Chains A and B, each alone.
Chain A
């Protein structure tokens, strides 16, 4: 995978995945 693809497609997907993971962890911590 080229650097271009990593940054232009992988990075935005990774940031959204990070948001989802943090939200799920936070929800679990509250329970």
Chain B
């Protein structure tokens, strides 16, 4: 799933009518997102809560769209379309899991998290764990902050590399310059406008993505003579191309299991903490689910119509299925609309990179500096925001350095990031919100188990061939948390915590 976040050789011709329109659409989009960054600067400068959580005052629709697009990255546009191209409608199982899981997160998990994190003034996910488990010595907070930092910076680095490749393919510039430009754009609005700017730009990016994902399959199917013609062509190619059940049980479970990553990826979860009211999550659930469904099925139809249009993968640039999305758009769309498709690729990359960058920055300033290094002292909030901006700049520099010098390491870490974070933080955070018996030691055991099983399973070919590593790692991490929690002592004021989570007086 994460390979697509590395970006793809899109292979679009530079310049020309299409290139000019793409550039115009992209520049317009750029001006708007930078404008949002400037607009949000003053609000975000007030304090940590404002900079990292938009003052817990975000509109329900902004949260819905921001949570949905932050979690998807370029995987949806390039990876899922490519998967549907290669394996037909059975790729739908990759979308079902995360959409249903996120529906339940919005409706149930997020509400408890939102209530608890306001009552205990938590700004980050490690803040939540520290408050929930009375982490007096900072071991749990520190471990979480370091894990989040490592994975998030790697993710950001991979997004920048992907952005560089997209720049290179779309506008014919040097990929290294493209990486620098992607980083500079994301840095500008993230460091200035903080969480508010990131969330508002996410909303705009969500609109770009859904327009492109609806428009392209509709136009391409019409151009090919209708859905009946597309299905007939697919059926003639291979019967599995129209059979959604042409998939092994292990593969289907693995694809559905992708959804288990959502409750463990902090750049998604922190969105739930920023909504104005826990009651607003109901509307967010509905909007987020509809958006998720439309985007995913748009991507699936693009894959299918793409296979009907280009039956042989050699017809795609570099023979890579991840190049299908822009190639199909180039053939079937007017240059201006093609520009929207190009902008949607950047939108997908940036909407994920900005959220991950801010989470990494919060782990350094809020968790490691304010709550561990300067523990017990009252620090000036505006000064902390200044530090956060400086750290954001430094983390972008680090991500660039990793992307240029240690791309192999970044790729390795990103390969484990979605599953590793999902298995480590997913079951532990769910148990923290729903089971009173969960203890700090139990959570530490779950974190270690989830991470170790993810890496070992992935690195054992016989096991990874059976099922996606996230599924067993998630189950075993949950089991480890429960077993160790049973033999250790729970926090004393647990009843009060659960009353707060449930919204009881």
A residues lining the B interface (CB < 8 Å): 2-4, 6-8, 11-12, 15-16, 18-20, 22-23, 26-27
Contact = CB atoms under 8 A, between A and B. Distances in A.
A19 B282 contact: no
B161 to A, nearest CB: 32
A26 B96 contact: no
Contact of A22 (B99, B103, B297): B103
B107 A15 contact: no
B105 to A, nearest CB: 12
B473 to A, nearest CB: 25
Contacts of A23: 107, 282, 285-286
B107 A26 contact: yes
Given A3-B242, A4-B242, A19-B285, 9 more contacts: A2-B242, A3-B244, A11-B92, A12-B294, A15-B96, A16-B290, A19-B103, A19-B290, A22-B107
Interface of B is mostly: helix
B244 A18 contact: no
A27 B89 contact: no
B167 interface: no
A11 B107 CA distance: 20
Given A8-B89, A8-B301, A26 B282 contact: yes
B244 A7 contact: yes
Contacts of B73: none
A19 to B, nearest CB: 4
A4 B293 contact: no
Given A4-B231, A22-B285, A23-B107, A15 B293 contact: yes
Nearest to B245: A3
A4 B243 contact: yes
A13 to B, nearest CB: 9
B300 interface: yes
Interface string B242-253: 111100000000
A10 to B, nearest CB: 10
16 contacts: A3-B89, A3-B242, A4-B242, A4-B244, A7-B89, A8-B300, A8-B301, A12-B294, A15-B100, A15-B293, A19-B285, A19-B289, A19-B290, A20-B286, A23-B285, A26-B282
A4 B296 CA distance: 16
A7 B88 CA distance: 11
Contacts of A19: 103, 285-286, 289-290
A18 B289 CA distance: 10
A27 to B, nearest CB: 7
A26 B286 CA distance: 12
B102 to A, nearest CB: 10
Contacts of A15: 96, 99-100, 103, 289, 293
B293 A12 contact: yes
Nearest to B243: A3
A18 B282 contact: no
Given A6-B244, A8-B297, A8-B301, A18 B92 contact: no
Contacts of A6: 244
A7 B286 CA distance: 21
A27 B244 contact: no
B244 A8 contact: yes
A3 B301 CA distance: 15
B67 to A, nearest CB: 14
Contacts of B294: 12
A19 B244 CA distance: 23
Contacts of B289: 15-16, 19
Contacts of B293: 12, 15-16
Contacts of B103: 15, 18-19, 22
A20 B289 CA distance: 10
Contacts of B107: 22-23, 26
A23 to B, nearest CB: 5
A10 B437 CA distance: 40
Interface in B94-109: 96, 99-100, 103, 107
A21 to B, nearest CB: 11
